[in-house]
Amino acid sequence: MMKPLNVSDYRDLARRRLPRGMFEYIDRGTEDEVLLRDVRAALDAVKLNQHVLNDVSQPDMAVTLFGKRLAVPLIVAPTAVAGLVWHDGEVQVARAARRAGIPFCVATQSMTAMEAIAERADGADLWFQLYVFEDRTLTGELLRRARALGIETLVLTADTPRSPKKEWNTRNGFGIPIKPTLVGVLDVLTHPRWLAGVLLRAMLTSGLPTYAHYPPEYRTSITREAVANNVKLARRLTWEDVAEIRRIWDGNLVVKGVLTRADAQAALAHGADGIVVSCHGARNADYAPATIDVLPLIADAVAGRMTVLADSGVRRGSDVVKYKAAGAEAVLLGRATLYGAAAAGEAGASDVLAILREEIDHCLAFSGQGRFADIPRELIWRAEQGR
């Protein structure tokens, strides 16, 4: 079989290897998937000016975020199912991120505890993503665990007040929590490599996967709902919670899910050090705008007073360059690294990151940019410019 050449090739491998329910849980959007199509269309619609005769012999892709140098302008986004696409998936992807010289953001609903990831992905630059529990005391304990581990950057996901409506999960017999159905069982049985290499291997070594960051007394397997209200995700989440988290957390605080100038300014006013301009990969509100469409206005609104990151829909290195030209300092990757991990674990995730690095290099060279960090807004081509 030919070696995968791009993220789409890895997506095809992931689709073949994973049960359909698992793959579509990762890959698809929500409701009618209008936003999922819009995200791709909006990125494709952005054109970059081609400048020639600049010295691009050695384009510099490094960026500095919160005082740390990243070899490439990427962060592996928090994804709750990395441990289900490959055995020990969170550790595998964290190792790939370490090799690439970029951070790995541990999810609240990770199948592997942050302490285990830190130990086994030795040297990885870990961030932590927070979903706030109904019991704010438990949330505070989670933050203290992260800080005691040396994690410096907290990403508060603020755009998920409800579970999104994903009808195909029901049709496929798949969801979180996983509820065994005839359709789902047949789906798993027709993917024996995943069954043996992920599910059965996990059951033989550590039992059915659980949400590793829940306190032991509230921990349940992924086949069961949270049995206690304490660890259900907070339905009431306000800027007061951000202020309280800011009081507790003395590291970098990033608010993820911002899509308006007003919310960006509110995050700044409540002490956030950064934001992620994000439509959640089109997985939440099907009627939200695409990230790239609102990013320039939001970046201008905070005007260098905080770190602006972006995510959603990245399939090519040129997408990363487009997000930078539109105002983001770096980009979070979600599905892309999961495709790689689903295909080949650490090696697959590493290869996806290497492919994107090469594509960023090519895009910088063809657009005449010597340094990623210096990409100007004017790199985006507009018809009225006459260029």
pLDDT tens digit sequence for 145-175: 999 999 999 999 999 988 888 887 778 777 6
Among the listed residues 87, 191, 213, 280, the single catalytic one is 280
User: pTM to 2 decimals?
Assistant: 0.94
Mention every residue, 6+ apart, whose C-beta is less than 8 A from residue 136. 234, 241, 244
Q: Which amino acid is at 122?
A: D
* CA distances, 245 to each of 95, 216, 271, 280 (Å): 29, 23, 10, 21
- For strands 252-258 and 274-277, give the pairing: parallel
The DSSP result for 234-252, as a single string, is PS---HHHHHHHHHH--SE
Average pLDDT of 69-94?
95
Q: What angle do CA 213, 215, 221 make, to 5 degrees?
A: 70
* Domains of the chain from N-terminus onward: 7-46+66-362 (3.20.20.70)
Q: Say if CB 163 and CB 260 are below 8 A apart.
A: no
Q: Say if CB 30 and CB 166 are below 8 A apart.
A: yes
Q: Which residue has the higher pLDDT, 204 or 378?
A: 378
- Residue 343: name the closest of 186, 178, 205, 197 by CA: 197
Determine the Cα–Cα distance for residues 290 and 108; give it in Å rounded to an integer.
25
Pair of tokens at residue 25: 């849980």
Q: Which amino acid is at 209?
A: P
Residue 21 has pLDDT above 60, yes or no: yes
3-state secondary structure of 152: coil
Mean pLDDT for the chain overall: 92
Residue 177, preceding peptide bond in cis (omega within 30° of 0): yes
Determine the Cα–Cα distance for residues 174 and 25; give it in Å rounded to an integer.
8
Residue 377 has pLDDT above 90, yes or no: yes
**Residues of the chain with pLDDT > 90: what percent?**
75
DSSP label at 270? T
Determine the Cα–Cα distance for residues 42 and 282; give it in Å rounded to an integer.
12
- Angle, in degrees to the nearest 10, between helices 335-366 and 20-27: 50
pLDDT of residue 222: 60
pLDDT of residue 387: 45
Is there a catalytic annotation at residue 280? yes
